[in-house]
Amino acid sequence: MNPILSSLLAQVSDNDAAVAAGIMAFIAAFAMIFALIGLVVVVGMWKAFTKAGQPGWAAIIPFYNLVVLFRIGGQSGWLALTWLLNFIPVVGGLAFLGIMIWNHVNVSKRFGHGVGFALGLVFLAPIFWLILGFGSSKYVAEQPAQA
């Protein structure tokens, strides 16, 4: 064996292995928490999509769920293509975020809630999608005209 390599291997202590194992455990726990949060959002969206007369399974299809979400908000499903704005650094991502917030406001209004509920959908998605899906909210496809 190469003398340099053997000296490097001799310097690796049990402490380094323990640190590496701790980092891996932290990453695994973090991934599991995010997977659980994602699952809760999907369950809430599934029920909300079903209430809106759309297929619930659409909540688990990555791009199609945006199409359905825009339809529920009363817009064209083609607006899902605005997702491509994310490829424009910073400005595109902010533009898409604004479009999604606007759509969440429309979805919220169609379920009989206001802007505050829409902000809840944006910032506390797991909780508010469950409220929307399992709560007493009713979906109204057409909004009454404002006087």
* Rounded (5°) CA angle 94-88-129: 40
Write down the pTM of the prediction. 0.78
- Position 143 in a domain: no
The per-residue pLDDT for 143 is 61
- Position 19 in a domain: yes
- Position 140 in a domain: no
- Position 12 in a domain: yes
The per-residue pLDDT for 64 is 94
Q: How many domains does the chain fold into?
A: 1
Give the residue-averaged pLDDT of 30-40.
95
Q: Please state, in angstroms and rounded to a whole number, the distance separating the CA atoms of residues 44 and 35.
A: 14
- Position 146 in a domain: no
- Position 90 in a domain: yes
Helices 125-134, 115-123: crossing angle, 10 deg rounding:
120
- Position 139 in a domain: no
The per-residue pLDDT for 146 is 55
Q: Please state, in angstroms and rounded to a whole number, the distance separating the CA atoms of residues 45 and 105.
A: 15
**Confidence check: pLDDT of 13 > 70:** no
**Confidence check: pLDDT of 132 > 80:** yes
- Position 144 in a domain: no
Task: Give the domain range for residue 54.
Answer: 3-134
Give the model's confidence band at 28: pLDDT under 50 very low, under 70 low, under 90 confident, else very high: very high
